[in-house]
Amino acid sequence: MDLLKLVQKLPSAPPIFKEEILDKFGAKVVLPQTTFPKASFASKRQDALGRSLPQIIAHRGNKATHPENSLRAFEDAVDAGAHALETDLHLTKDGVDRDLNRCFGVDRQIKDCDWDFIQTLRTTRMPHQPLACLRDLLQCFRRPQWQSTWLLLDVKFDDDPAALVRHIRETFRQVDPENRIPWASKAEYIPLYSQYFPGFAIQNIGFSDFYSRHFLAVSHTSFSMIQAALVSPRGRKFLREVQGRDLQTFSWTNNDDINIEWCIRQGLDGIITDNVPRALELCETLGEEKKHRWTAKVVIGRIIFNFWLYVFILLFRRRYGTCIDEQTKVDKKK
């Protein structure tokens, strides 16, 4: 039996092993020769004591007080001291911006709905809030209290890449913000960013060092990895390599003290979290509190995650080889 088919039959197999998702990761891409800028504003910060500390990035806003991806959640995150905001993007049916069920109780896909319908929805969680669109969020960056805040956009690949990136570019032209937004990217998006956003920094948000290594060929790419992947021997080696190249490193989504503390001690540039106040507190008290230890539950979870990660690497290599076209290597030699 085919290994992929066997894995798909396992009830505990993650959704990454669905063929339609694997094929998106395995899409062949010829990387452009564009030199993307480094997002200097996203590097580690210096506190009043001269310590080098990571920036704290609010994952979809301050989810502790308001429903995620609402304007109130983003506003509260900035008020709480977040250095940056992170959110993900999807296109609606009419091109204004996956599933509305988790937050809004509506069993429909965003891509199948018009914005006129989506903007009438309110979150099931109190206080009931509407979903923010990109234009509304970008307008907030004109506020004086937001001037030192930057935005990390996780551009999902559920939508047509060209259409999504083109609509984002049109939205930016309407709002006309400064280029303070690094882009979270998959391989097939990089040529589009080169065309539409040549002055913007890009970032790979990933769960596998094997896949993310492809982006080392792109100038000044920063990396945001799920923390469970970084604690493995492969992950630590990848982290050292990226930091050795003076590339920015981030981790998502870290909410427990032990995970946040680990990220601080590893010298990451940014920590993506749902708990901005606690992350800031741990940065300030680093070394003062007793060092946390991994619990048996956490260790087992890490082992299971990395088991599936190794299965993913094995299947990916067999099925696709690499997502970067061999032409890229030829161009590098010219």
**pLDDT of 227-280, one tens digit each?**
999 999 999 999 999 999 999 999 999 999 999 999 999 999 999 999 999 999
Please name the helix (run of DSSP H) or strand (run of DSSP E) that holds residue 229, with its range, or none: helix 227-230
pLDDT for 290 equals 66
Please give the residue that has the higher pLDDT: either 26 or 205: 205
Please give the residue that has the higher pLDDT: either 332 or 133: 133
Question: 127: left (phi > 0), else alpha (psi -120 to 50), else beta?
Answer: beta
- Tell me the average pLDDT of the chain: 85
pLDDT band at 132 (very low <50, low <70, confident <90, very high): confident
Residue 67 structural domain: 3-333
pLDDT for 103 equals 81
Q: Which residue has the tokens 């589009």?
A: 192
Q: Quick one: tokens of 15?
A: 């959704």
Q: Is the pLDDT of residue 27 over 90?
A: no
Q: Which of 119, 127, 73 lies closest to 100 in space, CA to CA?
A: 119
List the single range of 159-163, 183-187, 282-286 with lowest mean pLDDT.
183-187
Q: Is the pLDDT of residue 323 over 70?
A: no
pLDDT band at 178 (very low <50, low <70, confident <90, very high): low
Whether cis (ω within 30° of 0) applies to the bond prior to 233 is no
CB 223 within 8 A of CB 250: yes
Burial of 248 (0-12, 13-18, 19+ CB in 10 A): buried
pLDDT for 246 equals 96
CB 308 within 8 A of CB 228: no
Q: Is the pLDDT of residue 310 over 90?
A: yes
Q: Is the pLDDT of residue 115 over 50?
A: yes
β-pairing verdict for 202-206 and 84-89: unpaired
The dihedral formed by the CA atoms of 124, 105, 18 and 231, expressed in degrees to the nearest 10: 10
Domain containing residue 145: CATH number: 3.20.20.190
- Neighbouring C-alpha atoms within 13 Å toward the C-beta of 74: 28
- Neighbouring C-alpha atoms within 13 Å toward the C-beta of 191: 12
Q: Is the pLDDT of residue 41 over 80?
A: yes
pLDDT band at 131 (very low <50, low <70, confident <90, very high): confident
pLDDT for 116 equals 84
Read off the pLDDT of each residue in 105-126 and give the average, rounded to a whole number: 83
- Looking at the structure of the chain, the number of domains it has is 1
In 3-state terms, the chain is what percent helix, strand and coil (to 5)?
45, 15, 40
**pLDDT of 70-84, one tens digit each?**
999 999 999 999 999
Q: Is the pLDDT of residue 327 over 60?
A: no
Read off the pLDDT of each residue in 108-113 and give the average, rounded to a whole number: 80
Q: Which residues pair with 324 in a beta bridge?
A: 29
CB atoms within 10 A of CB 160: 12
